[in-house]
A and B are shown apart, each in its own frame.
Chain A
Amino acid sequence: MSESQMIALISDGTLQTLYMTFVSVFFSYLLGLPLGVILVATGKDGIMPMPVFNNILGTIVNVVRSVPFLILMIALIPLSRFVVGTSIGSNAAIVSLVIAAVPFIGRMVESSLLEIDHGVIEAAQSMGASPMQIIFKVMIPEAVPSLITGAAIASTTILGYSAMAGAVGAGGLGALAIRFGYHRSEPLIMYITLIILVFMVQFIQFLGDYMARKCDHRK
């Protein structure tokens, strides 16, 4: 394989990985953030306690989280086909990635929101704030640094999952690493993809930590 072919393969794979990761993170948060808020708000000490509902939701979250990602992906092939019209490629993988990541992100958001001092929520209640006002004006703004740290962790996890998705036809750097490192015994490309993945994880983590620190006003 020529050098230019190799560069084309790798840059293509990198773009696909970035695409899968960012689109998946976006849709996962679109669903995972409300899920986390609902988990906290309906909890036993939440602002709208609904113990039965909270239990059912928590159980569903745990069930989805306990399915290994690779198996979940295979199980979701029919769904992917239904949603994006195909069971292979980056878009198909995004469907699985989002479904795997939503419960995980829900739990991350939940733990960030639970870190908030309950006294602040009580103060808001004492001022006549409604549950919705408490969620949007107190809980989420107060948890921003922790939510950002969580988002960095979630993004790197989704990045890792997207590489795994390469095993079942998702494309991206993971697919390259498996194809060349495993099926063709050409470890060079595998090592290069690994190095790129490491840099991506480092960068996301660094950015997350930096932003979390920047917007934390507790000093």
Chain B
Amino acid sequence: MGMQQSMIAIHRLKKTYISHGQEVTALQEINLEIPRGDIFGIIGMSGAGKSTLIRCMNLLERPTEGEIIIDGQDMTQLSDKELRQMRLSVGMIFQRFNLLMQSTVEKNVLFPLEITRTPKKEAKKRTMELLELVGLGDKAGAYPAQLSGGQMQRVAIARALAANPKVLLCDEATSALDPMTTTAILDLLKNINKQLGITIVVITHEMNVIRRICNQVAIIDQGVIAEQGPVGDIFTNPKTDAAKRLFRPNKPETSGSKKALRLIFAGQTIYEPVISGMIQACGVPVSIISADIEQMGDGIYGQTTIEIPEDKEAASRILDYLAEQGVTTEEVMASCQNHK
């Protein structure tokens, strides 16, 4: 108990619904622990059940079985009134913003404060602070239709924060935005997490989002959690096919059906001249098929794909050397990844 306890704990969550007279299982055996103050990502392809999962967290959808414990409270056991009270501490933002289109920006942000019957003067002050925080201090009197998508999402964020929530749920919050706006919104979320200490849960199908802001990630595939852990760990060592599909996006590589070796650099190895060292130490020239470097969570990660020499003995020397240097390796077929 106390501060050690997770902000959100999901135990054995199951969600089924009836579609065309048949029972469909949307989620099964979901177990998640989301630490206080974390930015936790849940990634999956469309139809994997990720939206259902986040909507179960604030009971917009009622789980068929299982527990949703937020800050020590099992959401599924609350009465309607208690649930409404609890929802004040769980903000949510949406892919399509869901703003009141007939109300000004200010009225939108005031909405949760009207629900909590905050005194007018205090509510107005808080609204202006929040609009400043999201960078829209000059837009209080505008209507949502006069704003860009990114600005609308900023209003939605300010609104979601108005009642001082402990948790912010983001349901595909950047999926309707262009890449530059996405980056700006993600940076804003990261700032909010840092400044206010709010636990953020991010649902997305975009690897980019996970890489940019999440510390931990759960991969959801066909209604179950395929894999979860720190973003860096899953990147360096994905165990399941679902994780590999997401964390090893296809890259244009050489044609030819050659065996290739993927090297994953994490931690200190990223700063060291491993490949030139390897060529010198093993005396085998290798050609590099592809290479890149990415910011992920708190760390920087690199990956390089090289051809494996025909000579078996040279190949094993390379593998030994890399293992010694602490580089994770993985055999891939270069030709298999030829499609763009």
Q: Which residues of A contact B (CB under 8 A)?
A: 117, 119-120, 122-130, 133, 137-138, 141-142, 144-145, 215-219
CB pair B98 A141 closer than 8 Å: no
Q: Taking A129-B115, A217-B145 as contacts, is the C-beta distance between A120 and B84 under 8 angstroms?
A: no
In contact, A219 and B60 (Cβ under 8 angstroms): no
Does B234 make an interface contact (CB < 8 A)?
A: no
CB pair A137 B99 closer than 8 Å: no
- What CA separation (Å) do A81 and B86 show in the bound complex? 54
Q: Does B126 contact A (CB under 8 A)?
A: no
Pick the residue among A122, A124, A218 that contacts B101 (CB under 8 A). A218
The answer to whether B84 and A126 have CB atoms under 8 Å apart is: no
Verify if B214 is at the interface (C-beta below 8 Å from A). no
Bound Cα distance from A142 to B143, whole angstroms: 13
User: 18 A-B contacts, Cβ less than 8 Å apart?
Assistant: A117-B96, A117-B98, A119-B94, A119-B98, A120-B99, A122-B94, A122-B98, A126-B90, A126-B92, A127-B88, A127-B111, A130-B84, A130-B115, A137-B111, A142-B100, A145-B102, A217-B101, A218-B145
Q: What are the 7 A-B residue pairs with the smallest beta carbon separation, nearest first? A: A123-B98, A128-B87, A119-B98, A217-B143, A126-B92, A128-B84, A128-B88
Tell me whether B174 is interfacial, beta carbon within 8 Å: no
Q: Is B48 an interface residue (CB 8 A)?
A: no
Chain A neighbourhood of B112, CB < 8 A: 127-128
Contacts of B111 in A (CB 8 A): 124, 127, 129, 137
Q: A144 vs B144: C-alpha distance in the bound complex, in angstroms?
A: 16
Q: Does A122 lie within 8 Å of B60, measured CB to CB?
A: yes
Q: Is B204 an interface residue (CB 8 A)?
A: no
Contacts of A128 in B (CB 8 A): 84-88, 112, 115-116, 163
Distance in Å: Cβ of B149 to nearest Cβ of chain A: 14
- Who on chain B is nearest to A125 by CB? B60
B201: min CB distance to chain A, Å: 13
Known interface pairs A133-B115, A217-B143, A217-B145. Does A127 touch B87 (Cβ–Cβ under 8 Å)? yes
User: How near does chain B come to A146, taking the closest CB pair, in angstroms?
Assistant: 10
- CB B281 to nearest CB in A, in angstroms, measures 58
Assess the B114–A126 pair: CB atoms within 8 A. Answer: no
Query: Does the CB pair A138–B115 fall under 8 Å?
Result: no
* B58: Cβ under 8 A from any A Cβ: yes
Cα A76 to Cα B127 with chains together (Å): 54
Chain B interface, >50% SS class: mixed
Q: At the interface, yes or no: B31 with Cβ under 8 Å from chain A? A: no
Shortest Cβ distance from residue B308 to the other chain A in the assembled complex, whole angstroms: 51
Known interface pairs A120-B100, A138-B100, A218-B101; 20 further A-B residue pairs with C-beta atoms within 8 A, sorted by A's residue number:
A117-B96, A117-B98, A117-B101, A119-B94, A119-B96, A122-B98, A123-B156, A124-B111, A127-B88, A127-B111, A127-B160, A127-B163, A128-B85, A128-B86, A141-B102, A141-B103, A142-B100, A142-B101, A142-B102, A218-B102
Interface residues on chain B, number (Cβ under 8 Å): 32
Report B104 CB to chain A, min CB distance, Å.
Answer: 8
Is the beta-carbon distance between A217 and B87 smaller than 8 angstroms?
Answer: no
Cα distance A219–B94 in the bound complex, in angstroms: 22
Who on chain B is nearest to A142 by CB? B102
Q: Mark B181-224, 1 if CB is under 8 A from A, else 0.
A: 00000000000000000000000000000000000000000000
Closest A-chain residue to B115, C-beta based?
A: A129
Closest Cβ–Cβ distance, residue B323 to chain A (whole Å): 50
Bound form: Cα–Cα A110–B88 in Å = 29
List of A residues within 8 angstroms of B101 by Cβ: 117, 120, 142, 217-218
B 106-129 binary contact with A (CB < 8 Å = 1; else 0) = 000001101110000000000000
Chain B nearest CB from A88 CB (Å) reads 44
Contacts of B100 in A (CB 8 A): 120, 138, 141-142
| Complexed CA–CA distance, A170 and B84 (Å) | 52
* CB-CB nearest in chain B for A130: B84
In the complex, A126→B70 CA distance in Å? 14
**Which residue from chain B places its CB closest to the CB of A219 in the assembled complex?**
B145
Digitize B137-177: 1 where CB-to-A-CB distance is under 8 Å, 0 elsewhere: 00000011110000000001001100100000100000000
CB distance from B127 to the nearest CB of A (A): 14
In whole angstroms, how far apart are the Cα atoms of A138 and B102 in the complex? Answer: 9
Q: What is the CB-to-nearest-CB distance from A116 to chain B, in angstroms, rounded to a whole number? A: 9
